[in-house]
Amino acid sequence: MSAESQIIKDESARSTGGLKTDEMAADRVGFRGGKSHGRIPDFFVVGHQKCGTTALYLMLKPHPQIYLSDVKEPRFFVPELLSPGGKLSKLDYYMSLFAGASREQRVGDASPQYIRSHTAARAIADLQPAARIVAILREPVSFLRSFHLQMVQSNIETQKDFRKALALEDLRRGGRRIPRGCKSREPLLYSDHVRYVEQLRRFHTAFSREQVLVLIYEDFRRDNEATVRRVLSFLGVDETHPVVRAETKPLKAVRSQPLRHLADSARTARLYPAAAGPLGRAVNALTPRQLRSESFRAKWRKFVYKTPDPADEELIRELRRRFKPEVVALSEYLDRDLVALWGYDGID
């Protein structure tokens, strides 16, 4: 066992008084359904989205001393994003996601929505006071452009024009112009996501500084392996274990929302019949078998999706001026010159 591993083990023992953390967590929330078949995670990858959390998840998952659930984003500590009364909203089911972990493994939850939540940091600390937290931050404008693209592709956002989507923020804050597919207005309040210092302070208030690792997305992109080894060291596991680079597909822009919705409905009916709606079941039933081949689906995807349009340079400059104070504050907070790294030093 490494010195870092022993430190983490000692921290956990001190915080639990010798009891297993998941047993104490169950007591705190009143869950005592007999013997618990699961674990409360030891570490949390808390986001942001579109900042490399999926790649980090994929690169950590094969490590023999780490256990990450097959459900990449349980989102248990952001209950407003879960279906009321659904399985994932119940502590016993959440814990069961990690039941396959051995006692020697470090268990993790990678839900990037946690960093934007006003309550997740405290809720995590209440359940697992010895938790280790990994946050990833990205240059604000590239982050929001990519996040908006994902929201459109996920059918959460219906306004495909980024500038127009930003202009809708005030209306949406008042509960208007919320798309049907959006459970919560919070994801579509794009500018609110760039409150990096406030978000980090919530976790630094709930946990000691030593328990929170802040990564910069651009560092991760430049050297995947070095960043992952830094995370392994932070988690107290073998940092010399081979690291395999994970490739994630670049996001495409949606060419046609109705066609995308039609395709997704049919795909759900094909892969998850119980979750399919009438439209999806009908389209899937009427689709000839030869049209379900991978070659046809590849052609269909080209018809539904397209390469994103070039960035609106005027909008980029406007947003960089808006977010520069946040970048300056974050640089001071982390004691690192992100103003220069992210190219804000030439912004007036």
CA 119 to chain centre: 16
The pair phi, psi for residue 43, each rounded to 5°, is -145, 160
pLDDT, the chain, mean:
84
User: What is the pTM (predicted TM-score) of this model?
Assistant: 0.78
Shared domain for 286 and 243, answered yes or no, is no
Structural domain contains residue 48 = yes
- Any idea which residue has 């759900």 for tokens? 268
Shared domain for 54 and 175, answered yes or no, is yes
Structural domain contains residue 257 = yes
Shared domain for 245 and 272, answered yes or no, is no
Structural domain contains residue 316 = no
Distances (CA, A) of 261 to 228, 256, 274, 280, 300: 36, 9, 18, 9, 13
Shared domain for 62 and 3, answered yes or no, is yes
pLDDT of 149 reads 93
Alpha carbons within 13 angstroms on the beta-carbon side of residue 273 total: 3
CA distance 253 to 166: 17
Structural domain contains residue 184 = yes
Residue 47's CATH number: 3.40.50.300
Q: Residue 43 pairs with which residues in a beta bridge?
A: 108, 132
**Domains identified in the chain, total number:** 2
Q: Residues 158-182: pLDDT tens digits?
A: 999 999 999 999 999 999 999 988 8
Structural domain contains residue 315 = no
Answer whether residue 298 shows pLDDT above 70: no
Shared domain for 135 and 257, answered yes or no, is no
Shared domain for 115 and 263, answered yes or no, is no
Shared domain for 162 and 93, answered yes or no, is yes
Answer whether residue 124 shows pLDDT above 50: yes
Shared domain for 131 and 278, answered yes or no, is no
Answer whether residue 91 shows pLDDT above 50: yes
Higher pLDDT, 242 or 297: 242
Q: Residues 269-280: pLDDT tens digits?
A: 665 576 567 776
Question: Would you say 92 and 31 are in contact if contact means Cβ atoms under 8 Å apart?
Answer: yes
Tokens representing residue 229 in the block? 């080894």
- Any idea which residue has 């001190």 for tokens? 14
Tokens representing residue 246 in the block? 């994970």
Q: Residues 314-330: pLDDT tens digits?
A: 999 999 999 999 999 99
Segments forming the whole domain that contains residue 223? 1-250+326-348
CA distance 144 to 166: 10
Answer whether residue 305 shows pLDDT above 80: no
Shared domain for 185 and 263, answered yes or no, is no
Structural domain contains residue 208 = yes
CA distance 342 to 320: 10
Structural domain contains residue 313 = no
Shared domain for 159 and 264, answered yes or no, is no
pLDDT of 110 reads 97
pLDDT band at 255 (very low <50, low <70, confident <90, very high): low
Shared domain for 342 and 210, answered yes or no, is yes
Shared domain for 54 and 128, answered yes or no, is yes
Structural domain contains residue 314 = no
Mapped onto helix, strand or coil, the DSSP state of residue 177 is coil
Tokens representing residue 137 in the block? 């931050």
ω into residue 63 within 30 of 0, thus cis?
Answer: no
Q: Which of 169, 207, 209, 211 minimizes the C-alpha distance to 187?
A: 169
Answer whether residue 2 shows pLDDT above 80: no
Q: How far apart are the first and last CA of the chain?
A: 51
